[in-house]
Amino acid sequence: MMAICHLSFVIKMATKRDYYEILGLSRDSSKDDIKAAYRKLAKQYHPDVNKDDGAEEKFKEVSEAYSVLSDDEKRAAYNRFGHAAFQGAGAGSAEYGGFGDFADIFEQVFGTGFSGRSSGTRRGPRRGADLRYELAISFDEAVHGVQKEIEVSRAETCPTCSGNGAEPGTSPTRCATCRGSGEVRQVRQTFLGSMVNVTTCPTCRGAGEVITTPCHTCKGRGQVRNKRRLQVSIPAGVDVGTQIRLSGEGEPGTSGGPSGNLYVIINVEPHSFFRRRGDDVWLEYSVNIAQAVLGADAHVPTIDGEEKLKIPAGTQPGTVFPMRGRGVPHVQRNGRGDQFVVVNVAIPASLNSEQKKLFKELGKTLDGAGSSTNQKKSFFDNLSDFFGD
């Protein structure tokens, strides 16, 4: 009963914000809602765009929330246990298997597990921590795919001592304080009777061994930090928030445990004139008055180069022309999105005398002079009309 009260107290004292609150979502939000909220907030707080104090921290907070809620298994664990599901693994970093079970969470809160054994004495193989790397790529690289080289700083097993922390030619010795058990026990008298308090040995910190002659390379830690260059294959069609896992490229495990993973989080720089919505691409394209009235064969840019688009006679400003299959490739299935071309009519700012004469003669033959019932819609108005939001 006392343990349950202690657990409730620790949880109440947690200051970490709720992931749903960070993204401004309810707990029943769909994956599309989560992705849309992340894209909006990531653009708002991206350090390259927002120079305000605190923007970078908010960006990291938003990315962390997305990395958990966008993954079905991580989200299920978070919905059940909250932030305690990721104690010791780093938010949004480990695979679901790296979160640990509830016994691990209990041990991290109280320092002892259900068995009464100190968590610091778990000397078996343990998986290394996962790492996170944020990679910015261009719009073209995102839609076509690219190979990138990244440099990651991580801990690696010391090559001199092979990870045991002792100078070559020497060996760790059994701890005299705990006699190799890694824990010390104290008996306390309480109103409930005698209680045994098991804690991690302060001398060997639970290892059961002490290093009398530390390795000169790692100073007894068994690990050294190195910078490692890695090649990352970015598939065509990735978008903001896409995660690419490099298995075994995280921090090394301990006591022979496997290494963690490296997660590369993709951020995409905006294009100068293309706008992306899902796997569809939108483009605003201007024609002159004669082309809009008489029709024309336009050569419009696509993500694969210029292509011919027929502009019918009498095209009105704001007309949307679809170009099927000219959008972004789908990442996990065949096919591509579409491109939508929003046509604007360019009005000349100045005319020469011959052009003025021709327009005056044309104006006399046209009906509806002075009418202004049709207002040109902007590029973003057309987007809103098309998607209904």
Per-position DSSP letters for 128-191, written without gaps between them: PPPEEEEEEE-HHHHHH-EEEEEEEEEEEE-TTTTTS-BPTT---EE-TTTTTSSEEEEEEEET
Check: CB of residue 302 under 8 Å from CB of residue 295: no
**Highest-confidence range of 97-101, 132-136, 368-372, 384-388, by mean pLDDT?**
132-136
Measured CA to CA, the distance from residue 380 to residue 275 in angstroms comes to 10
The pLDDT tens digits of the residues spanning 240-282 come to: 999 999 999 998 887 778 889 999 999 999 999 999 999 999 9
Around 251, how many Cα atoms within 13 Å sit in the side-chain half-sphere? 19
Instruction: Give residue 232's pLDDT.
Output: 95
Confidence of residue 193 (pLDDT cuts 50, 70, 90): low
- Give me the pLDDT at residue 382, please: 55
pLDDT of residue 15: 63
Has residue 173 got a pLDDT over 70?
Answer: yes
Global pTM value: 0.56
Rounded to 10 deg, the angle between the 31-45 and 55-69 helix axes is 160
Per-residue model confidence (pLDDT) at position 222: 85
What type of residue is 245? R
Terminal CA-to-CA distance of the chain, rounded, Å?
Answer: 52
Amino acid, res. 267? N
The alpha carbon of 353 is separated from its chain's Cα centroid by a whole number of angstroms, namely 59
Q: What is the pLDDT of residues 31-76, one digit of tens each?
A: 888 988 988 888 888 776 777 878 888 888 888 889 889 888 888 8
